[in-house]
Structure 1
Amino acid sequence: MPELCVGERRFTVPPASNLLDALNGAGCAVPYSCRAGSCHACLVRCLDGQPVDAKPEALSAAQRDQGWRLACQCTVAGDLELALFDPLQDGLPATVAALDWFDDVLRLRLRPGRALRYQAGQHLVLWCADVARPYSLASLPGEDDMLEFHLDCSRPGAFCDRARQLQVGDELRLGELRGGALHYDPDWQVRPLWLLAAGTGLAPLWGILREALRQGHQGEIRVVHVARTPAGHYLAEALQAMPGVSVELVLAEQLDEALAGLRLASRQTMALLCGAPGSVERFARRLFIAGVPRNQVLADVFTEHA
């Protein structure tokens, strides 16, 4: 059977094992989120030997040349010597600058050790000690030198449990910056823009909304935010203060009724969706019924995390 070597650890695994499962099964504690090659939380470096990679295009040529692979997308075909992503060595330090609680939502603001170039809608892997999780950026590039994230801490979880203990001045580490499906294109300036979010799926859309306004968006802007409770509409006041933006705050039990009220005024409408899989699926189904072309619907799905 193939042998895997990680530091001082050596162990055998069955041929064709998923690399992420094999490593975690041996106690190597490789973080993961989407298992689809999108979040990049499960980066590992191949020092000797190569696994079978189902999604090589998910990493840049430079990353692959350095030996980086996404463990969730790899299967073991032979002996491998691996190094796990080390946040202390491979990550960028960032200091907690502000912590604001809105019911169970934590608005976390970090000051990175160096300026990052990013676009609204992208996400970063955050490391809190040895626990990692990808989060969408809610901040707007160029607005200030801080990065903003919205964390749903309503359920227990390894990262959220750590986040609840954070204090201003604590240090986290930043992993890879990734581009998701969501962004703002200047070519959309005269088109209607619909932003549909559930829970903290609002985070990337909050950045994109402000990017659209900064670029002088001329078309209709409509924001629909779904939350389990009224307190879950954590950006209600800020959204309603946005000039020229139509805002609908919807409770989860009222979602079907609210979606039924969506009426398409233009086939040029761009729709950006973000939230848990069930919510995004309901958004997308209603938009299809309303007549929004599929190629004008961009979605980012938040998966559950341990």
Structure 2
Amino acid sequence: MAFSLAQDSRQALAETGRAPLRVGLIGKGIQLSRTPAMHEAEGRAQGLDLHYDLIDPDAMTGPQPTLAQMLDAAQDAGFAGVNVTFPYKKAVIALLDDISAPARVVGAVNTVVFADGKRRGHNTDYWGFAESLRRGLVGANMDSVLLLGAGGAGGAVAHALVSLGVKQLMITDRDPAAAASLAAEVGGTAVTDLAAAAKAADGIVNATPMGMAKLPGTAIDTALLEPRHWVADIVYFPLETELLRAARTRGCRILNGSGMAVFQAVRAFSLFTGLTPDTNRMRATFEAFSQVHDTQKGG
């Protein structure tokens, strides 16, 4: 099946003396993502003609292209790289020439850089979540944490939690084998009894897609939440998921997905451009979105 991202950049080249820098995001249901705005605004601030495209099979007419076709099309069109989100963070690894040490440890890739005809994968989610938690939940007890989700994002979050000093990491997933595999990687424990795990946990982290507009609900019974818990969610559309709303109502400290979204984008921008981005500027762009957008899902 033919699939192309070709774009005529001759006019831009004639007007500015250089072709635009193209990057993008491959994922499903990403039309309201804030990532393009963050990258394009930071690019302008740094004097770049940066264009960030959304490559979303759910928004395409006709047969959906495969991940391989979308990656090929981006590389053939001269993209500097692409971000990768749900549901492709693990599957993309088989299509790359090399991956960074953090991506290899985590077992998932969310950023691919094209250079010299090669594809190198990175994981900026790992650092993004760790940085968000460090800044957003200062002083939170990290002795015992229950992690919901062992997929591509869950792997990054699990390794980040261990790096932050979590002593007992309990992991659950709708696929028990995935939870067991991730637990073995990070020295955690796979659990199926969420009531017992929540009782033992100081914090609870949602690393599943549950809570997005297209996947409403929660990955845990919110009746299990107690005021002593801190609760974090990686979903940022909406900023206050059903899980976080219930946690706030019960008096829990909460952390939404905005910090992870910003910090992973900061690291990805650097990988794409070789420049040092302004974190505060990129956060300001993220926060400039209206509350209307906060009711929707993005990547």
Shorter-chain TM-score: what band? 0.3 to 0.5
State the TM-score, normalized to the length of structure 1.
Answer: 0.40
Larger Rg, first or second structure (1 or 2): 1
Greater RCO structure (CA 8 Å; 6+ sep): 2
Higher strand share: 1
